[in-house]
Amino acid sequence: MLEKELCDILGINIPIVSAPLGGATGPAMTAAVSEAGGFGTIPLWSGGAELVHSGIAAVRALTDRNFAVNLNMDFCREEELQACVDQEVCAVSLFWGVKPDYIEKAKHGGLLVFSTVGNAQEAKIAADAGADVIVAQGWEAGGHVWGQVASMALVPAVVDAVNVPVVAAGGISDGRAMAAALMLGASGVWIGTRFLASHEATIHPEYRQMIFDASEDQTQWASELYNGFWPNAPHRALMNETSRTWEAAGGPDPGQRPGEGETVGRQANGDAVMRYQSHTPGPHTTGDIAAMSLWSGQGVSQVRSPQSAAEIVEEIYREARLTIQAAQSRWCKSG
Ligand SMILES: Cc1cc2nc3c(=O)[nH]c(=O)nc-3n(C[C@H](O)[C@H](O)[C@H](O)COP(=O)(O)O)c2cc1C
């Protein structure tokens, strides 16, 4: 029932949300997912209010459907939230901790609020502060990972704790995983790594190919392997030469990591990409792409070929429905 409620709240037909992917989600992906009947999000937390205004305008130039702006609570300033309110965007997604005052301000400004949590207690705090949708992010997730509980245990615990729709995140890369999340009580899914395969993802082709080639046991969670501008933020990325050399050295702290200070490439604007720097390699990044922070979740083994974002939405939804129907008929036969 909450699945319908989620769709009604967001004004969508398909309960699939494309996760905000810093460096990989641009307006094209966000708009394509919303146009396909799901719900797009766009991360706009790294450039102040100006980026929020221009990012919202760029998505609106491509779609008149609803989407959410993702803000990072470690960096968010009031002006960014105010920009979302001024632009009358449909929703904000707040991640990296629950800040009730931000939730209340967003609600006061007329926005729907997604709040990303890593356990049931946080979910309750967020819902009590007025969050409309809780994003339960499991430990399998790619990119920056807030909690330490895997989705299978996290989702039912969060669903039991709150009376608002819960969206499951982490390790959901196909329709079977979506069906499983719905069986755990989620009202929808929040999918990141699978959308790295989309034509719309603004990532380097070598990174995309490494995603296609990786298996479920080839990602690494670390509390501080990659950092730079954002320290003390645990994350999950593909294993590579950088992570293996660091691990072989005993996983030393920043300041003592092998090869620290080396330049491994250049960003599109010419700035250096340093080894261990949090940087999602884009199409115009140059250098040793394979040595960079290649964010990925454990669901990577289900990400095998390039597709449009719309095809991904449609395929996952179709497969989820078929999976649920097939399970029902198996259950009846065995009963
Ligand atoms: C490349 C990449 C960048 C990410 N950047 C952000 C971000 O800017 N904001 C955010 O809330 N989450 C970010 N995440 C986490 C996702 O929103 C989401 O929680 C995660 O991808 C879900 O797990 P999955 O990758 O297994 O689907 C990122 C994930 C990836 C893979």
pLDDT in tens, 120-161: 999 999 999 999 999 999 999 999 999 999 999 999 999 999
For ligand 1, atom 6: residue with the closest CA: 21
For ligand 1, atom 10: residue with the closest CA: 20
| β-bridge mates for residue 190, sequence order | 17, 169
Q: What value does the mean pLDDT of the chain take?
A: 96
Which residues have CB under 6 Å of ligand 1? 19-22, 24, 43, 70, 95, 116, 137, 140-144, 169-172, 191-193, 280, 295, 297, 299
| β-bridge mates for residue 189, sequence order | 16, 168
Res 330: pLDDT: 85
Res 76: pLDDT: 78
Q: Give the start-end residues of each E strand in 192-333.
A: 219-222, 235-238, 263-266, 272-274, 286-287
pLDDT at 89 over 80: yes
> What's the pLDDT band for 4 if we cut at 50, 70, 90?
confident
Work out which ligand 1 atom sits closest to the CA atom of 195. Answer: 27
Res 220: pLDDT: 97
Res 231: pLDDT: 86
Question: Ligand 1 mean position to 16 CA, how many Å?
Answer: 14
Q: Which of 25, 42, 144 to mutate to test the pocket of ligand 1 (most atoms within 8 A of CB)?
A: 144
Once rounded to an integer, what is the mean pLDDT over residues 206-227?
97
- How far, in Å, CA of 192 to CA of 295, rounded? 10
Share of the chain above pLDDT 70, in %: 98
Question: Ligand 1 mean position to 334 CA, how many Å?
Answer: 39
The CA angle 267-308-213, to the nearest 5 degrees, is 65
- Nearest one of 9, 61, 66 to 41, comparing CA atoms: 66
Q: Which of 158, 193, 280, 302 to mutate to test the pocket of ligand 1 (most atoms within 8 A of CB)?
A: 193
Query: Residue 216, Cβ neighbours under 10 Å: how many?
Result: 14
pLDDT in tens, 246-286: 999 999 999 999 999 999 999 999 999 999 999 999 999 99
Res 17: pLDDT: 98
In this predicted structure, which of 201-205, 229-233, 310-314 has the lowest mean pLDDT? 229-233
Res 331: pLDDT: 77
Q: Which of 295, 298, 303 to mutate to test the pocket of ligand 1 (most atoms within 8 A of CB)?
A: 295
Pick the CATH number of 2-200+306-334 from 3.20.20.10, 3.20.20.70, 3.90.1150.10, 3.40.50.720: 3.20.20.70
Res 335: pLDDT: 54
Question: Ligand 1 mean position to 227 CA, how many Å?
Answer: 16
pLDDT at 107 over 60: yes
pLDDT at 334 over 90: no
In this predicted structure, which of 4-13, 107-116, 192-201 has the lowest mean pLDDT? 4-13
Res 77: pLDDT: 82
Locate the domains of the chain by residue range. Answer: 2-200+306-334, 205-300
pLDDT in tens, 64-80: 999 999 999 999 789 99
Work out which ligand 1 atom sits closest to the CA atom of 20. Answer: 17
Exposed e or buried b for every residue in 13-34, given b needs 16+ CB within 10 A? Answer: ebbbbbbbbbbbbbbbbbbbbb
DSSP labels for 32-73? HHHHTTSBEEEE--SSHHHHHHHHHHHHHTT-SS-EEEEEET
> Measured over all CA atoms, what is the biggest interatomic distance in the chain, rounded to whole angstroms?
64
pLDDT at 1 over 90: no
Work out which ligand 1 atom sits closest to the CA atom of 191. Answer: 27
